[in-house]
């Protein structure tokens, strides 16, 4: 009976962790508008392999940054939850740079 309980617990743990991993690696969790922007950015110069979407938390809000390894700018494709670019002054940008937290990075290519 004790072995059966351990096996059930182990199977439950494995199934929970596999579901969690599947969700966190699933690029379909990105909003459609950011997927459209990614497609627009990578298709022009075939930048698929060097492009990611960074999901960032800042002051309780989610931001999406399309990041490409060959670009010479950071956060030049940063958008809020509604798909708008933040309109911040230099103090707000400095606060963002110092206090944002990267939640995860999703590859542009699947």
Give CA–CA dist 108/15, Å, rounded. Answer: 27
- How high is the pLDDT of residue 10? 46
* Domain ranges within the chain, ordered by starting residue: 30-107
CB atoms < 10 A from the CB of 54, how many? 19
- How high is the pLDDT of residue 71? 87
CB-based contacts of 59-63 (< 8 A; 24+ apart in sequence): 59/99, 62/103, 63/100
- How high is the pLDDT of residue 101? 97
- How high is the pLDDT of residue 13? 46
Beta bridge mates, 79: 64
Per-residue pLDDT of the chain (110 residues; tens, 9 = 90+): 555 444 544 444 444 443 433 334 444 478 999 999 998 888 877 888 889 999 999 999 999 999 998 888 889 999 999 999 999 999 999 999 999 999 999 998 86
Task: Give the SS3 label for residue 81.
Answer: coil
């Amino acid at each position: 009976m004790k072995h059966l309980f351990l096996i059930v617990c182990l199977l439950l743990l494995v199934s929970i962790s596999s579901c969690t991993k599947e969700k966190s690696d699933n690029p379909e969790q990105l909003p459609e508008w950011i997927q459209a922007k990614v497609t627009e950015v990578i298709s022009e110069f075939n930048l698929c392999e060097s492009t990611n979407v960074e999901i960032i938390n800042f002051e309780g809000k989610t931001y999406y940054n399309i990041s490409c390894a060959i670009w010479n700018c950071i956060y030049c494709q940063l958008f809020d939850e509604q798909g708008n670019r933040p309109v911040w002054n230099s103090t707000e940008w400095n606060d963002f740079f110092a206090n944002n937290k990267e939640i995860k990075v999703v590859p542009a290519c699947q």
